[in-house]
Amino acid sequence: MKLSQSRVTEQGHVPLARFVIDWIQFLNEHGEWTQPRPDFATDEWLRDMYKHMVMTRVFDQKAIALQRTGQMGTYPSSLGQEAFATAIGIALQNEDVFVPYYRDHGTLLMRGYDMSDILAYWGGDERGSTTGPKQDLPLCVPIATQITHAAGAAAALKIKAQDNLVITTIGDGGTSKGDFFESLNVAGAWQLPLIVVVNNNQYAISVPREIQCGAKTLAQKAIGAGIHGVQVDGNDPMALYQALLEARQRIQQHKGATLIEAVTYRLGDHTTADDATRYRSNDEVKEAWLKDPVKRLQSLLASLNLWDEQREQDWQKQCAKSVDAAVKRYLAREPQQPAAMFDYLYEQWPEVMNEQLDLLIDKIDRMSSSH
């Protein structure tokens, strides 16, 4: 059979497979529609999204201030990630399982976490991980390990023939870890009810995205696992929400898992222990601020006459009041004893851990007696 020229590669081979990665965006950086307004984006929906995003930012600013003044431990800012967190928060249904990573403060707030609990967690108090829906997993600080947990939870849901699903999040750096690839592989092999959302904020701590991975998109990593992959504008909450809706629909139609790459930008440091000025320029950050998700949605609301300066001032005051009250509750907590860290690791205490616990208690006693 003679093949037409268009079906032959430059090397003279016959293509065995082709794939494309779709891109979703409704709202550009100027707050203007790039395609028709989706049905779910009612006036009320848009206002709620914006209010959640602003609340997340106000909370984040206060959390950083607490760390800077020695009242909290190292903290990973969510500045610039507000659309990412809020879209996931709205897409999650009550019975779904959420497996977060460490920058998901905005989503946790929408899952019912009290702000003071989130502050407590970053203040070293394990009780901060015990709120929220009982089926959700706590914040995960190790890189990419949460994806294996999410795949396991999704496998359990499938075995039990439950209709709910698992949504998990990860940074762009985490997609270079073996845990990530192994979990995606099992999600494809077992057709798991799993949605993996990558927060591609352009930096794995100090390593730029273009250095850490040679692929054109992170979403195409789904192809090798046999699952669906899509890239969205992560500063546009409607784009991510639309992708999550489609991913849920695919699971309901027994079409398996989805990998969503949300393209964002980390406007702040990686954590409060980081100094981003060492590895990126001020001009780059200024350019990123032009795509600020909060300002973008605010511009849209204003153009639709759904928001104005008075509403902005009133909501900012309400956010500040709520956050300040949460800070007071956090600071008023009785400090947790150091040995309590062992109380939250296992459902059933393994005897092999007794030695470590005894060593810690002994050290605490010696430190106390030396003062």
Residues 298-324: pLDDT tens digits? 999 999 999 999 999 999 999 999 999
The mean of the pLDDT values for the chain is 95
Would residue 167 count as lying in a domain? Answer: yes
Q: Is residue 10 part of a domain?
A: no
Q: Which two tokens stand for residue 110?
A: 């929408």
Residues 126-133: what's their mean pLDDT? 89
| pLDDT at residue 1 greater than cutoff 50 | no
In a domain, 41, yes or no: yes
Shared-domain flag, residues 345 and 251: no
The per-residue b/e assignment along 291-328, b for 16 or more CB within 10 angstroms, e otherwise, is bbbbebbbbbbeeeeebeeeeeeebeeebeeebeebbe
The pLDDT tens digits for 181-203 are 999 999 999 999 999 999 999 99
Q: What is the pLDDT of residue 337?
A: 84
Mean pLDDT, rounded, for 70-85: 97
Please enumerate in sequence order all residues whose Cβ is within 8 A of that of 101, keeping only pairs 6 or more positions apart, or say none: 139, 140, 146, 168, 169, 170, 171, 174, 199
Can you tell me which residue has the tokens 């016959």? Answer: 14
Expressed as residue numbers, the domain containing 139 is: 22-336
Residue 71 maps to a domain? yes
Q: What is the pTM of this model?
A: 0.94
Active site residues: 266, 270, 279
Distance CA 77, CA 268 (A): 7
Confidence of residue 4 (pLDDT cuts 50, 70, 90): low
Tokens of 121: 């967690």
Above 50 in pLDDT, residue 88?
Answer: yes
Number of domains in the chain: 2
Judgement on whether residues 255 and 348 belong to the same structural domain of the protein: no
Q: At 140, which CATH number?
A: 3.40.50.970
User: Is the residue at 12 inside a domain?
Assistant: no
The one-letter amino acid at 140? C
Domain-embedded: residue 4: no
Let me know whether 203 and 343 are in one domain.
Answer: no
Is residue 254 in a domain?
A: yes
